[in-house]
Amino acid sequence: MVSRKQLVRIIESSIDNLIITFRKNPFFFYTENDLHCHLFAEIFGKLPLEEWKCDTRDKETSILLHKEYPTKARYVAKTLEEVASGGGRGHFDLCIWNPDETKRRLFRVAGSTDFESEQHTFIAIEFDMVEGNETFEQAMHHFKWDLLKLRTPKNEVEHGYQLVFVRDWLHKSNFMTEARSEASKAQNTSVLYIEKNNDSVRVSTLSIKPFLKYEPMFK
């Protein structure tokens, strides 16, 4: 089976290819979900199917790559709070299970709160697409919500990636400053800011954790 190091390399090269595509053609993507699907296909195509397959403790055959896989922590999303009971589980836009753990963990826990027995999402990716009439408050709430899921220790994410795509948006200056402050709270996460503005596209990191060749927006 594919190794964890190989999966990190696949994820990062696939994200880089997505960024290259966006830089060349920022309107290939109509919605944020288009970005999800494009990256899923890019990642999945890096390996033959047999390399993606895995078996779980409850005797299910699955694959390592998943969309909308649930968090182990519960939250009140409106107030951005992790809670011990009540609330609801979040979901990662994309995730990769730990190939070393699949046989020791369950595909799904039914009727239980023992979510720690479910698969280890050691890589998780969140997307933001910000444009048009979206307010600063809406965009920042989405950003904080995604970052909270990635950095919550209970969710076990070892390699988090938050990809913020911006197209001709009025509130970007205020957003960048506050987003950088929030990104500093997630030591496990690379936060990339990809902005289409008029005829140019720039790519920077907002996080302490670097990502490939992309430079920090603030030094």
pLDDT in tens, 123-148: 999 999 999 889 999 999 999 999 99
Residue 166 class from Cβ within 10 Å (0-12 exposed, 13-18 middle, 19+ buried)?
Answer: buried
Number of Cβ atoms within 10 Å of the Cβ of 181: 10
Using an 8 Å Cβ cutoff, are 69 and 77 in contact?
Answer: no
Q: What are phi and psi of 209, to 5 degrees?
A: -70, 125
Q: What are phi and psi of 24, to 5 degrees?
A: -75, -40
Percent of the chain having pLDDT more than 70? 99
pLDDT at 217: 73
Q: Which of 10-19, 32-41, 175-184 has the lowest mean pLDDT?
A: 175-184
- The partner residues of 91 in beta bridges, in order of sequence, read 70
